[in-house]
Amino acid sequence: MNLTVNETYTVITLGSTLLDSLSPSDTVNLKGQIACEGDYSYEVGQSDISDGTFTVDLDALFGVELENGVYSFTVEVVDAQSNRQEDYACLFVDKTVRCEVAECVKDNQDIALQLDYYILSQSWDCGCQCDDMCKIWKRVKYGLERCQGC
């Protein structure tokens, strides 16, 4: 699945080959996890889909502004016989993490924190499993908490 996000993390556009040839009876759902914790689900109207893509206002979807973390997006298409097909993507929201990591590692050569952050920042659009990205995000959060607690 293709995912693009605007600079302020308020609007995403999702594209999937699953959306290219929908029948009128198909149902399209968007579901996933918010920052590796809470779940969400949203029914996408077929009239909102154009050329296999649709756009979502993230503030409206989640009810709050996105914070740092990993967000998962799964497009699910259910046909009239209840057959399901899914496509997914992950998004790493980094509003302040890079600066926090830089502050933590400037005096302390925490290689694990540096590597975890680098992997996370480079892998959000490569088709990685969101669960794997969440594990890395939790290690980054722990590393930052440990560093900032000193």
d(CA 42, CA 93): 20
Same domain membership, residue 36 and residue 8: yes
pLDDT in tens, 81-130: 999 999 999 999 999 999 999 988 887 767 899 999 999 998 866 667 88
Same domain membership, residue 125 and residue 65: no
Closest CA to 22 of 48, 46, 54, 56: 46
d(CA 77, CA 88): 12
Same domain membership, residue 114 and residue 55: no
**What domain count does the chain have?**
2
Same domain membership, residue 86 and residue 105: no
**pTM score, two decimals?**
0.89
Instruction: Count Cβ neighbours within 10 Å for each residue of 113-128 and write b for 16 or more, e otherwise.
Output: bbebbeebeebbeeeb
Radius of gyration of the chain from Cα atoms?
17
| Residue ending a domain, choose from 91, 113, 130 | 91
DSSP summary character for residue 13: E
pLDDT in tens, 46-81: 999 999 999 999 988 888 888 999 999 999 999 999
Same domain membership, residue 106 and residue 54: no
Residue numbers of the domain that contains 105? 96-148
